[in-house]
Chain A
Amino acid sequence: ILNVEQSPQSLHVQEGDSTNFTCSFPSSNFYALHWYRWETAKSPEALFVMTLNGDEKKKGRISATLNTKEGYSYLYIKGSQPEDSATYLCAGGGSNYKLTFGKGTLLTVNP
């Protein structure tokens, strides 16, 4: 996978708002889609790995969907909290190890 795009680049929401952002990738030569959560000065934390078209994954208030035919994934956060503030990275894998990352979406949740 050569090009992974994420939008928006940054996002400010109020505590309690629900939000979502997008990751798009070429639908050809697709193997897996990864989402990471990355707080400043810490390690990127793995959230989800999805491989099948129509996959939906959920962890607490965060969920993700995958459409491999049209080449996009959405990440949803329900009832955003200040501790959700981070950069959310998606990465496409055209193989089972070589990840191509987007530039991330920086989420700021205001109390």
Chain B
Amino acid sequence: NAGVMQNPRHLVRRRGQEARLRCSPMKGHSHVYWYRQLPEEGLKFMVYLQKENIIDESGMPKERFSAEFPKEGPSILRIQQVVRGDSAAYFCASSRLQAPEQYFGPGTRLTVT
């Protein structure tokens, strides 16, 4: 049973470019969560999605960030016009129901140059 998959594992973007991060949840999981880890910080909640629905995006920056979890395919976290402050590790987790156990992927490390 494959775990949560994230790709790419490492992503380098120049300032102003777009970053697309993908997350495939575990088989049978229909709930996806995105977290961000800035340097020297703990993991911070960004957004919680179910298939075709954003349930809670209270942790998402107001501009440039968006997330989706379509009926088919992976969940996508999209960052437009990246800036150096977006450099971080982005983790995705999935669960069967609303928690309690969230299973994490290995993360995507985004570097903005």
Q: Which B residues are in CB contact (< 8 Å) with A100?
A: 42, 45
Residues in A lying within 8 Å of B, measured CB to CB:
4, 32, 34, 36, 41-46, 49, 51, 89, 91, 93, 96-104
Q: Which A residues are in CB contact (< 8 Å) with B106?
A: 41-43
Q: Which B residues are in CB contact (< 8 Å) with A93?
A: 99-100
- Please provide the chain B residues from 28 to 65 with a CB less than 8 Å away from any CB of chain A in the complex: 31, 33, 35, 40-45, 48, 55-56, 58-59
Q: Are B101 and A96 in contact (CB under 8 A)?
A: no
Q: Which A residues are in CB contact (< 8 Å) with B3?
A: 43
A25 to B103, CA, bound (A): 22
A100 to B102, CA, bound (A): 13
Q: Are A89 and B4 in contact (CB under 8 A)?
A: no
Q: Are B48 and A103 in contact (CB under 8 A)?
A: no
B98 within 8 A of A: yes
